Amino acid sequence: MKRFSLDTNILADLVRNPAGVVAQHIAEVGEARVAVSIVVACELRFGAAKSGSPRLAKRVEEILAAVETIPLESPVDKVHATARRALEAKGAPIGPNNLLIGAQAKALGMTVVTDNLGEFRRVPGLDVVDWLRET
């Protein structure tokens, strides 16, 4: 059963559009098949704290409570090291948080759902999809 790791920009869209295209995709694949990396949870909570909006913070907490959060555990470190080395050798590194999110998804055999295809597609062997651009 294919599982999906939702990136920060996908969850941000879900916060803004609770009945939008992301919610529709989650309904189609089933909530049990979607999760977020602890790295994504960190990014979302930071964004909410930085905004100073209690309403946004509440919405972020509601969404994170409804989705499985996956901790960083081995073999993510091994996949991360291999991917980082390959990206650096090509002269095409990606952001450190995105590399952790991608390495985790790859290690767990998950598909990353993101609106940042440019970075995530550079991770060798990572399955990536953009629910915001699919019709």
Which residue intervals of 2-116 are DSSP H helices?
A: 8-16, 21-29, 38-51, 54-66, 76-90, 96-107
Phi, psi of 87 (to 5 degrees): -65, -40
Q: Annotate 29-51 with b (16+ C-beta within 10 A) or e (fewer).
A: beeeebbbbebbbebbeebbeee
Kindly list the domain boundaries of the chain, sorted by start residue.
4-129
Predicted TM-score (pTM) of this structure: 0.94
Residues 65-86, mean pLDDT to the nearest whole number: 97
Residues 80-94, mean pLDDT to the nearest whole number: 95
Q: What CATH number does the domain located at 4-129 have? A: 3.40.50.1010
What's the confidence (pLDDT) of residue 134?
Answer: 74
Burial class of residue 102 (count of CB atoms within 10 Å of its CB; 0-12, 13-18, 19+): buried
